[in-house]
């Protein structure tokens, strides 16, 4: 029975995706909604992303330095390890899981509250495609999500450089040499492909849980928790699949 329920929910999710792109809202209205979502989802996330990226980059650098105990191992490997960790996994995946908590709960609770207070029913009565009106602006706003991840990559490596150099673990030249060593441009492409997929998951899965929730104010909180869990699970699962497809061959 549990399996059937999950399959039913997945089917309902894909039907929702189809409905989002039907019967578009007027552009004059949609434009304002998109700018509001960019402010709520992208601009408001920059502070926490910058803070976490800088300090986790520093921690990666320090941990790498502390584990390079053999004097024969060159110090530039600290920069190399920091760059690889930040670009390949930390910035796109770890930040996206954090955003599943921040953005995801915000999206689920805002749409869920509209469901509870019957605002969504009012939109439907007025002949508006409520899914297009509520979810489409979030999808468009999150097309800017790779910009957030780009900032995260830069600050993660900067944090690693500052922790390594000012902590006395490596010289600036060694760190920069390591950060530039054996650089594969496709790794950036890979990270941004993942980021685009994660952005779609961050926009649609929390919206799904908010839109189809039933009950009152208490259920809004439960829906936010469930949406965080499923968004995180989806991000981790897609991370594995995309890594296997893009880097595994």
Q: Tens of pLDDT along 121-177?
A: 887 888 788 888 888 889 999 999 999 999 999 999 999 899 888 887 778 888 788
Which candidate, 164, 213, 185, places its Cα nearest to that of 65?
164
Return the pLDDT at 170: 79
d(CA 80, CA 78): 5
Global confidence as pTM: 0.88
Helices (H), 167-185: 172-180
What's the pLDDT score for residue 249? 60
Could you tell me which residues come within 8 angstroms of residue 163 by beta carbon, excluding any fewer than 6 positions away?
A: 57, 58, 59, 61, 62, 169
DSSP 42-69: IGGGHHHHHHHHHHHHHHHHHHHHHH--
| Residues in the chain, overall count | 249
Contact 235, 96 (CB under 8 A): yes
């Amino acid at each position: 029975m549990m399996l059937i329920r999950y399959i039913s929910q997945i089917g309902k999710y894909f039907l929702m995706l189809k409905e989002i792109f039907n019967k578009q809202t007027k552009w004059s209205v949609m434009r304002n909604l998109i700018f509001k979502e960019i402010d709520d989802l992208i601009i408001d996330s920059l502070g926490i992303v910058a803070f976490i990226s800088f300090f986790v980059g520093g921690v990666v650098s320090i941990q790498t330095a502390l584990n390079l105990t053999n004097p024969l191992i060159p110090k530039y490997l600290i920069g190399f390890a920091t760059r690889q960790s930040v670009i390949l996994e930390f910035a796109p995946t770890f930040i996206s899981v954090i955003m599943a908590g921040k953005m995801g709960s915000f999206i689920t609770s805002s749409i869920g509250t509209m469901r509870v207070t019957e605002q969504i029913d009012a939109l439907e009565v007025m002949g508006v495609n409520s899914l297009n009106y509520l979810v489409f602006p979030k999808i468009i706003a999150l097309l800017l999500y790779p910009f957030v991840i780009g900032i995260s990559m830069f600050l993660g490596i900067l944090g690693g450089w500052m922790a390594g150099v000012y902590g006395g673990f490596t010289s600036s030249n060694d760190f920069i040499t390591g950060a530039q060593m054996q650089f594969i441009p496709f790794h950036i492409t890979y990270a941004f492909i993942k980021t685009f997929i994660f952005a779609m998951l961050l926009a649609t899965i929390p919206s799904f849980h908010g839109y189809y929730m039933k009950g009152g104010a208490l259920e809004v909180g439960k829906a936010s928790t469930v949406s965080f869990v499923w968004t995180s699970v989806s991000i981790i699962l897609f991370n594995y699949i995309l890594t296997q497809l893009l880097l595994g061959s």
